[in-house]
Structure 1
C-alpha cells in the first residue's frame, strides 16, 4: 500500500510552499487508495512552539487535507532514536565524536583558508584516544568513503552523488535529540512510508538519508522532490510577494477550495484545466505531471480563481462566512426587518473576489450609509426631487418584486421626460449611500419595501427644492 507523509516543523505558520507539499502528498495517497500520515518534527527545541503546531493543524483542517494517521511528534519518540543509534554503534556503523564546537569551528576555518569545502574531517571516526572527561559526545554515522549514492527521483530523474562529497553526519546531538536527517529517516522507516514527496531544498539531504537506511539494511522509499515556488519576479517566495500563512488567506476571505485549486496548478497541470474540484484533482493527480521548473506565485491568478469559486458557492454557506465580517463592521445581520443575508450574498457574489470584499459590499443592506457630499451634489437635483416623491408613492403600493420595481422606476422617468439613469442614480445614492451597486431594482427587492421607504424619507431633505 502506498503511504505518504507530511512532516512540517512547528517553528512558524504553515505557508504556501508547505501547504502545496502537503496537498501533493495527500492527493497521491488518495489517488492510489493509500494512507496519508501527519508528523510534527518538533526537535528544534528553541524555535518549536505549541502555537505553531496548532496553526499547522488548523490550516490542514481548513484546507480539508485529512490525514489517516497522526499527528506524531518526534519529541515523543526519543527512546526509539536512541535505540537505533545504539544499534548502529554496536554494528560499527556509527561512533561517538567528542570534538568541541571550538575545535570544529577552527577545523572549518583552516579548510576555508586552504580553499577546501568545510566538512567534518573524521577525527574521531576510528580514534583510539581516551574520551575527554566531562564532554558529552554526539553520535556520527560512519558514512561510506567510496562509491556513490544514486536514486531515481520521480520528478527530477536519476540523481547521483559521490560518497566522497558526504561527511560523517551527526545522528544524535550531545543532548540526545536527533538531527533532522536521522529523525526523519527513522520515522519514515517505522511508519512504512513508501513515497517521500517534499520540496527540492531537501535533495541534498537525500543521499545522506539513504546512507542511514543502507547502514540499517532497510528498504528505501521512493523520492519526489517538488521544485520551489518563486515570486512573480523570479526571486524566492517571501511575504513581500503575498506569501502569508495559510490561515491569513482564510482571514482575508479566500475559500479553501480556491486555494487548493490554485496550489495544485502551481507546479502541476492536467491539460489546460484551470478550475477543477478536489475529486477531479485526486482522479487526475500524477507525480509525472509535476513540472521540473519552479512555479511562480501569482496573487492576481489566485484572486481570479477565488472569484470563480465565490460565484459557484452556495449562498447560505457564504452567508455564514460573511456574517463575522459584517459584525466586525457594526452590522447586526439578525435584526428584525433587515434583509435575509443569503439573499444579499446571492445578489452580490458575482462581483466579489473575496469573502471580505463581499462583506464590504453588503454593509449598506444592514446599516444605512450616509452618501458623500459630492454624490449628493451630483445626483440630488431639483429636477429629480418631484420624480423621487412620485416614485416614493408608487413604491408604497407596488408589488415588491424586481420587475415591478423596475417598471415603476421606468414609468416615473417616462412621465417626467427624464432618462432612466437620472432617476435610478439618485434613488441608488439615497438608499445605499453609494453609486456602485447591482441593478437598483434587484437591490430594492432584497432590501425590502419598509427599509427602502424609510431611507428615501431620511434622504429627501437633502434634495434642493
Structure 2
C-alpha cells in the first residue's frame, strides 16, 4: 500500500464511492445511493469504488456484509478495484491524527463518560445546550499519553462552516454550535468522520452522493478537511425514501432490504428502473434502457423532497419487463429465484415445459413468485384429491362428467382447435355453459380456479398427463 497522502492530488477523473457500514442488510435507500454513484461514474467514464466502513468492530455483522455484496451484484452494480476495508487502514488514520495533534489542531481528551454525562446534565438543568467543552482542550497532556483517552478535533470557537451542496444548495452551520468531534476512539480506532475524510482524499474521490441524513456529518467532515488543508469533494445530498404514507421508510411499510425483493421475485432490472424514478426527475418511462438512464443522469435533476415508495408501482414495472424479457433469460432467472428461496429445483423435463409455458404465463405475472404460481400446473404432482374449497363445484356428478370428457379426448389430435371443438360439443351435449365447463376443467388440471388458459395448459401438459389427471379425480 502506498504511503498516506497528506496533501491533495490533482483530481481529473470522476471517482465516486459507496460506503456502507456492515451492520445491516442493504436497504432501498442505500441501494439507490449506490446506484446513483455508479451511474454518475459511468456517465463520465470514471471509477466507482466500494468501501466498507467497518472501523467499529463491535457492530460488524458478517451476514449483513455478504448480503450487501450479494445485493449490489444482483442489481448489476459492479465496483472497480478491490473492496476497501477501513479496518485495514487504521495505521493511516492514526498518522493523520498525530499530524493534527502536533500542529495543535487536535488533542487527547481524558474525560470519562461519567464526567461528560455529569457536565451535560448540569447544562440541561440550566436550560442550556448540552455541548461538551473538554477541560483538556488547551492542556498539555503528554504525561498521560498512555492513559485511556480519545482524540478530539479542535473546532473553531467562532465563524461559520459552509457546504456547497449540489442538491440542497448552500448549507451553513455556526462553529460555536458544534462540539469537538472525536477522531480516535479510546481503543485507538478511527471514527466514521475521520476515516471517511482520509479515505475520500486518499482514493481521490471527486463526488460524494449520499442521503441527506448525512448533512451534519458533512459539516463535521468539512472541519477536518479545513484542519488538514485538503480540498473536499463535491457533495450532493439526496432526499430519503419515504413510505406510501409519507413517513420515513421502515419495516411497517413492507420490505425495506434489497434481499427481501430478491425473495419476493422482483426482477433486478425492475428495481433498478424504479429506484431511478424515485427522487429523480427523469419522466416515467418504465422500460428505459440502463444506458439511456446513464446518459440522461444529472445531479440537478434530483428533487429535494423525499420520494414515496410504492410497491404496487414496482410490481407493475416488473410485470412490464417480464413480458418483454426473452424466455430463455426468464427461465434462468426463475431457476435462480427458486434456488435463492431454497425451493425444489426444476427437473430438466420441467424446465422444458416451463419454457414452453412462458409466453402465456408471463403475461399473467408481475414477479417471479407469481410466475412460479402460474407454472404450478406443470410442477404439481397430484391434484386427484379435490380440495374442500371446490368440493361443492367439483362434486361426484361433475367428476364423472370430467371422466367422460377424458374418453373423448383420447381419440382426438392434440391441437388447440380440436381440443376446443371437443369441449364445446361436449358442453352443449350435457347442457353446460362453456365457461362453467372450462372452470371444472381448470380445477381438474391444476386444483384451483386461478390459472392460465385451459388450452394452453393442456397443450403443454400433453394428452397423457391431462387424461391421467382427469381420470384420477376423487372427492
Same fold, TM-score > 0.5, yes or no: yes
Task: State the match for 1:441 in structure 2.
Answer: 455
User: CA shift at 1:3, angstroms?
Assistant: 0.8
CA contact (8 A) 2:277 2:283 kept: no
User: Which runs of structure 2 are paired with 1:229-378 in the superposition (5 Å)?
Assistant: 229-323=241-335, 333-334=346-347, 340-366=353-379, 367-369=381-383, 370-378=385-393
- Distance in 2 between the 1:338 and 1:160 partners? 60
With the length of structure 2 as denominator, give the TM-score of the two structures.
Answer: 0.90
CA contact (8 A) 2:23 2:60 kept: yes
Deviations, residues 419-446 of structure 1 (Å, cap 9, x unaligned): 3223322222222222222221111011
**2:47 is equivalent to residue 32 of structure 1:** no
- Distance in 2 between the 1:126 and 1:329 partners? 61
- Distance in 2 between the 1:301 and 1:316 partners? 26
Q: Secondary structure of the equivalent of 2:156?
A: coil
User: CA shift at 1:331, angstroms?
Assistant: 6.2
Q: Secondary structure of the equivalent of 1:223?
A: strand
**2:217 is equivalent to residue 190 of structure 1:** no
When residues 454 and 387 of structure 1 are mapped into structure 2, their CA distance, relative to the original with a 3 A threshold, is: closer
Task: State the match for 1:100 in structure 2.
Answer: 112
Task: State the match for 1:23 in structure 2.
Answer: 35
CA contact (8 A) 1:74 1:183 kept: yes
With the length of structure 1 as denominator, give the TM-score of the two structures.
Answer: 0.92
- Distance in 2 between the 1:272 and 1:450 partners? 48
- Distance in 1 between the 2:130 and 2:351 partners? 71
Task: State the match for 2:96 in structure 1.
Answer: 84
User: CA shift at 1:184, angstroms?
Assistant: 0.5
User: CA shift at 1:232, angstroms?
Assistant: 1.8
CA contact (8 A) 1:59 1:247 kept: yes
Task: Count how many residue pairs are aligned between Structure 1 and Structure 2.
Answer: 460
- Distance in 2 between the 1:86 and 1:368 partners? 73
CA contact (8 A) 1:98 1:131 kept: no
User: CA shift at 1:111, angstroms?
Assistant: 1.6
**2:174 is equivalent to residue 162 of structure 1:** yes
User: CA shift at 1:316, angstroms?
Assistant: 2.6
When residues 398 and 75 of structure 1 are mapped into structure 2, their CA distance, relative to the original with a 3 A threshold, is: same
Unaligned runs of 5+ in 1: none
Task: State the match for 1:13 in structure 2.
Answer: 25
- Distance in 1 between the 2:101 and 2:343 partners? 66
User: CA shift at 1:85, angstroms?
Assistant: 0.8
Unaligned runs of 5+ in 2: 1-12
